[in-house]
Amino acid sequence: MKNHLPRRAFAIASIVAAAGMFPLLRGQDRDDGKVYAIRGATIHTLAGQPIEDGTVIIQGGRITGVGSRIGVPRGAQVVNAQGLHVYPGMLDAFSYVGLTEVGAVSATNDITEKGDFNPHLQAAIAVHPASEHIPVARANGITHAVVAPGGAGLPLGGTGRGTPPVIPGEASLMNLNGWTWEEMLVDPAIGMVLTWPTIDMPRRFNFGPPEDEPSDPSFRKAEEKYEERVAEIETWLEASRHYGRAKQAGSLEAPDSKLEALLPVVEGRQRVIVVANAARAIRNAVAFCQKHKLKMVLAGGAEAWKEKKLLSEKKIPVILGPTQAIPEEEDDPYDKLYSAPGELHEAGIKIAFGSFNSSDSRLLPYEAAMGVPFGLPREEALNAITRNPAEILGIADRFGTVEEGKVANLIVTDGDPLSITTEVRYLFIQGELTPTDNKHQQLYEKYLARP
């Protein structure tokens, strides 16, 4: 982070987390007395068959009724949805929404902090609620997002540093509506982010031995640096285990916010979102997490298709990055990123999609849709941006489907949300009817009216 405000904010986040105040903010329901009834729509619950000419009742931020023959409470605000469709709001499972505005302007980037190991930092505190990217994403049906620190997957200039930190902090689950980050907050610590180290070498033509059996001394040097970095991660984990034992025994000399933040990880209570793309990195990350008994979720996974057997055997879910991109290796088939989601699904791996971006979060439904013509079933593409990420992240009791008792994050559309021609007519976030106005719409109308 380049400016002083984010650094100060991150420091405050550590103090607040240590004081145990975040649970007071987490998952609060709205209780403003408003009651809504969405009537006449086809309701795609994603928990069963669609309900024709159905009604959804929303009260106190929750869904209190779903069905074809249910009464409308007295005083409810009725939304006439005849001919429209109700879906769960989409979840961007890995994003930088609210952390960056203009990649080339460092003062608008708050994705990362100094230091390679910052497990005590939480992304929520750095989210800028007035970001223009948020209403743009919201207007396309993204109602909530995992906001992750670190900047892995972004161009290096957009992270404000040369390489992403190894443990940049904890990802936070945020609703995409609210005047403050506290109002947006759902869970400040949905997962610990770990950017898996890579063996970095300058790209060049090499007609020597295969990569797995290199004779190039520069590779050996890069490999040694990689091994040192992995050893550092192990040292942090072991230190946290010792810290936990000392805390339990009552012999703790002084609190340590970093080791404290790692305790849920080493105790298996918090998932580790491991960012890795190359097949070798995925293999190594899986082996490491299995060795240390970490609850792993793979994020990125550009070459996860090469390791689908391993991922399936170990039951490791994958948050895939954008499909509308070029393959990692120049010899890979041009359409590999299109077909990979279908291959992983076929192998029995639970998949979700993340934008790994801020301005491109709005494209989330189209990243999922790109896999449909290449083998991913349409219903599974829809699940991958609604139900699946909720299950992967352990929040399926509150999000992901249209069912009674769930948080009312809903979209009302005039067609298939995976289609680029579909428009989101109404949007509910935490039970609040939320406007879809945004910068893109404003500019469109401005220049449409140009004389």
Share the mean pLDDT of the chain. 89
Residue 39: is its pLDDT beyond 50? yes
**Closest by Cα among 62, 144, 73, 90 to 405:** 62
What confidence score (pLDDT) does residue 23 get?
Answer: 40
Cβ neighbourhood burial of 327 (10 Å; 0-12, 13-18, 19+): middle
Instruction: Give residue-wise pLDDT tens across range 393-422.
Output: 999 999 999 999 999 999 999 999 999 999
**Closest by Cα among 410, 399, 351 to 142:** 410
**Closest by Cα among 394, 6, 31 to 187:** 394
Is 393 within 8 Å of 146 (Cβ atoms)?
Answer: yes
Instruction: Give residue-wise pLDDT tens across range 119-171.
Output: 999 999 999 999 999 999 999 999 999 999 998 766 544 555 567 899 999 99
| Helix, coil or strand: residue 167 | strand
Degrees, nearest 5: CA angle 174-66-138: 30
8-state DSSP, 170: E
| Banded model confidence at residue 8, pLDDT cuts 50, 70, 90 | very low
Q: What percent of the chain has pLDDT over 90?
A: 77
Cβ neighbourhood burial of 68 (10 Å; 0-12, 13-18, 19+): exposed
CA atoms within 13 A on the CB side of 199: 20
Beta-carbon neighbour count of residue 291 at 10 Å? 9
- Helices 257-266 and 4-18: angle between axes, nearest 10 degrees: 60
Degrees, nearest 5: CA angle 90-96-97: 60
Beta-carbon neighbour count of residue 148 at 10 Å? 31
